[in-house]
Amino acid sequence: VILSSQEDLAFQQVTLAVYTSPGGLYDYVLGDAIAREGWTERGTAQVYASSNLAPEPLPEDTFDPILIPTGTTMGIFVLIKDPLFNHKILTLEGTEPLLPLSTDFSNGDLLVRQGIAQIFEPCLDWGATVVDYSLNPRPRRFYGSIVYEAGAPSAPTMLPTISSLPSASLVPSHKPSMSFAPTPAPMVNPATTSFPIATGGDIIELVTPEGEEEESGSDAHGVMFDITAEVACEIYSVELGQMNPEPMNINVYTRRGSHYHVYDDISQWELIAVYTNYSSVDSDNLISIPAQFVGTGWTRAFYIAVVETYGQTRPIWNALLAGENYRDGVWAQDDVLTLYEGLKFNGITADRPMGDGVTSGASMLEGPGGTSFNMKAATIRYRPVATITPSVSPSISQLPTLSRGPTVGPSFSKVPSQQPSVSFKPSEQPSVQPSTSLKPSQSPSAIPSNVPSISVQPSENPSISASPSSQPSVKPSVKPSLSPSESPSISFQPSDTPSMSPSDPPSVSKKPSLAPSISVMPTMERFSMTSSSSGTPSAAYGVMFEVVAARAMTIKTFWIATYSTPSQYTVHLYTKPDSWDGAENNPSAWVKLGEQVFSAPNQNVIKLSSQLFDSVTLKAQEKQSFYIAIEDHFFMVRSESMGSASIANEGSIFTGVRKYPYDDLFSTGNQRGFRFQGEVLFEYGIDPPSVSPSMTPSFVPTVSYAPTAPLTTHPTSKPSISVSPTKFITLAPTPRTESTLQIKFTSRIRISGWSLPETAAEIATVVTVVAPSLAALAAAELNSSQRGEVHIVSINGVAVDGDPVSFTGLLRSRRLQEEEILDIEYEVILISLCENDSCDNAREAADALYETVTESMREKMENGEFADALEETINDIDVALDLAIVSGEFGDLTLTILALLSIWYPTWTDGSYCSNDGGEPLYMKRNAAAWLYDTRDGCCSRYYSYDYAACMGDDNLGPIGYYPAWDGQVSKCRNDTNVPDYMRYNPSNWVYDDIDSCCERYYPWDKDNCIVESGGDQSATYTSKWFVNHADEICEMDCPEDVNVTCGGAVESWKDTFDSAEDCCENRLSWVSASYCESQSKKETPTGSSKFYVNYEYERCVQDCDSSANATCGGIVTQSHVVLHDSAEACCSDKLGWIPTEQCQAESTNTATTYAGSNQWYVNHKLGKCVQDCTGSSPCGGLAFAWDERFTSSGDCCTNKLWWVDTSDCILT
C-alpha cells in the first residue's frame, strides 16, 4: 500500500490493521458504515509513511495469509488507526455508480472490485463511511499491489478421499489404505487417477439458434436440457442470450443421463453451483460451473434455476425459443456435442426448485411430448478431453492424494490448531478438541460445545444454548432421539438386517466391494405408452380399463387428458388383477394405489406424482385392470368398440367402461365402450423364462421348469434348475473327486459383408449373434465330460467388456464400404475331466483337445458352414446380410490344472452363501486365484465374514464373552449366544472378558449405567478424585452423591480428574478466584483475602471480604481477573490515579483526614442524587472534587441542579 503523511511526521510510526469478511464488504444500506460484526482481524503492524510514494509491502510475518477459494468473494479492509488523522492511505477516485460494485482490475486469477472510502473513528476503533452531498458512499479504488500465490495445495487429509469413480488401475488394490496419521505433505501422484484425465484441447463454443428476426423470445424462471457427447469433453459454462439486470439467486443442477421423467424429482439431481445476488450486468449473462465430464456416448442433463427473483417476474428475459419435438428434437449440434430440446420452468423457489407440479413447475405449449423450449442465442463452452478408461475395481493408494475439493467427512486432528481456520460455511461436525481462545467470547454460543472451551480469560456470558445442536455430537446420546436424522448415518459395522427398499441416493462404502455388482438388466429408466384412439372425445368421472404387458414392466404413474380445470379436485387410483368385468360396482375387489389433490392447475394434462401412488409390476402377457376416478371434475375418454385396444411395442391398453355421472366412486352409472385417454408411465421389469424357445439367444441363462423335450446335440454349459425334486432317488451321491484341466486360447476371425458397428447397440448385436455361434462351433466336438465357453475380447480394436448387454436398437441399414471387414478377437475356454486324480497326462490331453476343436472350427469356417449359420441367426432378427469368412486364426493354448472340483465360490444371492456346485461365473474362472477357494471356511471368511456362522452352517454356538448390545434402548454389554456373526468371527476386535472393559470401550459416556445394566458392581468404578462441574462453576469428587456434600456422582468419561480441589480449580476453572473456587467446592464459607480491589461505581477501593463484615468490605471476590492489592494506597494509585491519593484512601478506609470534607451538598452524577461532601454512611457521598459546585443545603442543591427530580428522590438516603 502507499501510506502518506505530513513531511514532518513521515518518520512517526502508526498502527495499520487488516480485516477480512467472506462474501464482500458492503451491506447495501446507503449511508451506513461497514458493520463491525462479521469482520475478522488478520493482524496489525507499526508502519511508516512511504518515502517516495511507492507501494511498500506490509510485514509478511505480521498478517495472516488470506485464503480465497476458487469462485468465492472476500472483502478486505485496510485501516490506518491514527486518531490525529496525520497518516492516510492513498487511493484512486472510483467510478459511479457504486451499486452494484463495479470492476476495478483483474487478471487470469483475481478480479478486484472498487470499494468505499473510510475514515478512522477512535471511539469506535473502527471506520466510518465517507459520503457525498447525497449521503451516498464515495467509491474509491485500491492503489497498490496484491501479492498472492495461486493454486496453493490443500493440507493433506486425515482419511483417504472417496471418489465417485474408480481410478484407471489395471488391477484392484490388495487392501485399502488405513492410515491413522496425516502425511507430512500433500502427495501429487503422476499415475492414474480416479477420474478420466483431461489431456488437452482448446475451449470450444456451441452457439444456440437466434430464431427469426421478428421472433421474440420467451420468459422463464428456469431451463432444463440434455447434452450428448460424441467425444469425451468437459463443460465449463453457459452464457444466456438475455437476462433481467436485477439481482437474483441461481442454482445449477446436473445429472448423468436424461432429464426425461425426472424433471420433477429433485432427489435425482446434483447441485453443482449456487449464485447469490447474481448480477447479469457484471457477469455478462455468464453462468460458470465446475467442469462437468461427459464421456463418449454419454448424456448429461442440466437445469439452470432462478430460485429467488426479489419480485421480478421475468428473470430469464426473452431468452428462450419454442421447439417442435420434445422427445428427440435436436436444438444445436457440432462435431462433439448435441443439445436437445428441453423444458422451461416458471414459479419455482429455493424450497421447490422444480415447482409443485400444479401451480408452478415445467411448462410446455402442449401436453406430454408436445412443444418444448430451449435457449435463444446462448453459448455453451466446453473442451474435448482424452480419457483413460476407469478400472473395474477402485485403486486404493497407500498415501493420500492431493485433493481437488473438500473431503467428504471432517478431518480429525489430535491437537487443536494454532491458528483458527477461516471457513465460508459452518462446520458439519463438531470439533474433537476444544478451541484455545486468547480472548473471551463476546456473546453466548447458540450451540453448546462438546467439551468446554479453554480460554485464557473468562467469557463475558456463559455458553447457553437456546436450541438443540443441529449436528450430532462426537459421543452418542444417552437417550434415543425423538425424530429421524436429517442426513443418513454412516455406520462402521453392518446392519443386522437388510433394508426394506433401496436408498434413493447410492450408499457410500468405506472400502471396495469384495465382488462386482452383477445386474440382471440395464439401469431402469421410465418409458411411456400413449393410449391412441380415433374415437369421439367424451367426458367421464371415472374409467376402468385393462393393460396387457408385452414384456415385464412396473407401472409407476399415469398422465390423464382433461378439460378445463376447476378450483380443486381429487384423483383416486385403484387396481386389480385380470379383468375389471364384473367388479364395476364392487370396491372390495379393488386395491387402492393412492390419491392426489390438485388445486387450480392451469393445464390440460393431469400428471400424477409417482411418489404418491404405489407401483404395480406386470409379467409378460399378464393382464391388470386399473380404475381412475376424479371427484368434483370430469376428464377425457374416447368412445371405442369393446375388445379393441391401443397397441404399442411394450403392451396394449384395452377399451373399458366409463362412469358418468356417479354419486360415489363405485356407483352403478356404468357405460361400456370407452377407452382411457393419456399415457401410462412404466419401467422395464424382469421377464420370467419363456415356455417356448426364443428367436435370439438370451443375455442370461433361463430357468427351466421341466427338462427339454428333445435331446440337445451337446451338453449345456450350466445345469438346469428344476422347481421340483427328481422322481427317482439316486443310488449314490454325485462323485465330486474328479480333477479337471482347463485350456484357454485367444483366436481371431475376420468376416466380410457386415457393416462396422458404430454404436453400443450395434456392438451388442454383433456380440449377441457371434458369441453363441462361436460357442456352438467350438462345442461341436466335445463329449459329455467336456464343456466350453467363448468370450468376445474386441471388435476391430474396440474392447468389449463383460458378457453381452441388453439393447434396443438393431443394425443400421446403410451402404457397405468395400474395405469394411469385421475383425473379431475372442477367447475360447475348454474344460475337461482328467483321466485320473493326479492328471499326470494333462499336457497330452490338452494338446489333443486343442487340435480336435481348432481343426473342426477351421474346417467349418473354410467350407462356408459357419457363415451360413451366422446368416440364418441374423435373418431371425429381420436383418439380411451376405457374409463370408475371410480368415480364422487360433492362438497358442494355456493349460491350467483345476485340481478337485470341491471349489467354493460366493453365490451373491439372498439366502445362499458359498457353494461348490461348479456353477461359478466365467469371470471367477478366468481369475480363479482371486475368487475361488478350496475350503468352505476360506470362502466364508473372505466373502461372508459378517454372517460367518450362517455361511458355515453353524447354529447353536455358545457365548464367547461380553459384547455391545446396541439395541438403542440402554447402554449394556451382553454375554450370551446371540453374538452377531461379524463379532463372533473377529472376537479380538469386538468381545471382552469382563463387563468393565466392554462398557469402557463401547459406552464410555454412560459407563456406570452400562455396568449396572450389564450386571456389574458400580461402586468399584469410583476414584474419589476431583472433576469440574461447569454448570455450578465448582469442582466435585468422583463418588456417590449420598456419601458426602462434595460428591458429584460418577465422572463422565471425557472429563479429566485431579488429586485435589485446588488442582481442579486451577486447571478447569481458571477464571474463578482460586480461594473462592476451593471454598465453594469443599462446601465451606468463603472468607476472602482482606486485600483491596477497585470499585469503579463508587470510585474507591474496597476489601475482599463479606460486605456485612464492616464498611470497607466490598464483597467476596469470585473472579480471578480481579486484581488484588495489599493496601488501599496501592489500589488507589494503580486503579484510581485521577483521584487524589489521600482522598481515595480516606474513602476506601472509611477514616477521617484533612480531606474529611466540608459537609456541604453537591451532585453525585453517577448516583443522580444530591449528597454531602463527607465520607461515611448516607447522606455522605464521598468527598467532592474541586470542580463540583457546593450548596449550603440539600434543598438548594436539588432546586439548582436536579430541579426535575422529585424532592423525596433527590437526596441520598
Asked if 371 and 326 count as a contact pair (C-beta separation under 8 A), the reply is yes
Using pLDDT thresholds of 50, 70 and 90, give the confidence band for residue 689.
very low
Q: Is the pLDDT of residue 841 over 90?
A: no
The three cell numbers of residue 957 are: 454356538
Higher-pLDDT residue of 717, 219: 219
Closest C-alpha among 665, 656, 660 to residue 571? 665
Q: For the residues 389-394, what does the mean pLDDT come to?
A: 43
Using pLDDT thresholds of 50, 70 and 90, give the confidence band for residue 317.
confident
pLDDT at 238: 94
Its sign, for the CA torsion 254, 257, 261, 266, is: negative
pLDDT at 920: 83
Q: For the residues 553-570, what does the mean pLDDT come to?
A: 81
Its sign, for the CA torsion 262, 263, 267, 271, is: positive
Q: How many CB atoms lie within 10 A of CB 645?
A: 19
Q: How many CB atoms lie within 10 A of CB 162?
A: 13
Least confident of 93-97, 413-417, 800-804: 413-417
Using pLDDT thresholds of 50, 70 and 90, give the confidence band for residue 521.
very low
Least confident of 188-197, 348-357, 1114-1123: 188-197
- Residue positions counted in the chain: 1213
How far, in Å, CA of 314 to CA of 344, rounded?
12
Q: How many CB atoms lie within 10 A of CB 1035?
A: 30
pLDDT in tens, 166-183: 444 433 443 344 333 343
Which range among 169-173, 398-402, 885-889, 1127-1131 has the greatest average pLDDT?
1127-1131
Using pLDDT thresholds of 50, 70 and 90, give the confidence band for residue 1117.
very high
Strand partners, 103: 113
Q: Is the pLDDT of residue 20 over 80?
A: yes
Least confident of 284-298, 597-611, 1082-1096: 597-611
Q: Is the pLDDT of residue 998 over 80?
A: yes
Q: Is the pLDDT of residue 336 over 70?
A: yes
Q: Is the pLDDT of residue 811 over 70?
A: no
Which range among 119-128, 131-140, 181-190, 730-739 has the greatest average pLDDT?
119-128
pLDDT at 365: 52
pLDDT at 208: 92
pLDDT at 26: 57
pLDDT in tens, 694-722: 444 544 344 333 344 334 444 554 454 44
pLDDT at 510: 38
Using pLDDT thresholds of 50, 70 and 90, give the confidence band for residue 227.
very high
SS (H, E, C) 182-240: CCCCCECCCCCCCCCCCCCCCCEEEECCCCCCCCCCEEECEEEEEEEECCCEEEEEEEC
Q: Is the pLDDT of residue 617 over 80?
A: yes
Using pLDDT thresholds of 50, 70 and 90, give the confidence band for residue 239.
very high
Strand partners, 915: 905
Q: Give every CB contact of residue 313 below 8 A, 6+ residues apart in sequence.
A: 219
Q: Is the pLDDT of residue 403 over 80?
A: no
Q: For the residues 371-389, what does the mean pLDDT come to?
A: 82
pLDDT in tens, 868-883: 888 887 776 656 677 8
pLDDT at 73: 82
pLDDT at 818: 46
For 800-815, the DSSP string reads: --SSPPP-S--PPP-P
Percentage, residues of the chain above pLDDT 70: 72
pLDDT at 261: 76
Least confident of 18-22, 494-498, 927-931, 1141-1145: 494-498
Asked if 12 and 3 count as a contact pair (C-beta separation under 8 A), the reply is no
Percentage, residues of the chain above pLDDT 90: 18
How far, in Å, CA of 1077 to CA of 1066, rounded?
9
pLDDT at 583: 92
Q: Is the pLDDT of residue 546 over 50?
A: yes
pLDDT in tens, 84-116: 777 888 888 887 655 546 777 888 788 888 888
Using pLDDT thresholds of 50, 70 and 90, give the confidence band for residue 1144.
confident
pLDDT at 738: 54
Q: For the residues 899-923, what does the mean pLDDT come to?
A: 78
pLDDT at 761: 74
What average pLDDT is seen over the chain? 75
Q: Give every CB contact of residue 663 below 8 A, 6+ residues apart in sequence.
A: none
pLDDT in tens, 744-793: 889 999 888 887 887 777 788 888 888 888 888 888 888 877 878 888 88
pLDDT at 497: 41
Q: Is the pLDDT of residue 274 over 90?
A: yes
Sequence-ordered strand ranges (E) for 366-440 = 373-375, 379-384, 436-437
pLDDT at 223: 94
Using pLDDT thresholds of 50, 70 and 90, give the confidence band for residue 564.
low
Higher-pLDDT residue of 192, 1019: 1019
pLDDT at 729: 42
pLDDT at 603: 62
pLDDT at 611: 78
pLDDT at 731: 35
pLDDT in tens, 977-995: 888 877 887 788 889 999 9
Closest C-alpha among 688, 670, 674, 558 to residue 618? 688
> In whole angstroms, how far apart are CA 1162 and each of 1100, 1136, 1170?
18, 21, 6
pLDDT at 1027: 93
Locus of grid cell 421410465: 526
Q: For the residues 831-850, what does the mean pLDDT come to?
A: 80
pLDDT in tens, 1024-1049: 899 999 888 999 998 888 888 899 88
How far, in Å, CA of 1198 to CA of 1213, rounded?
14
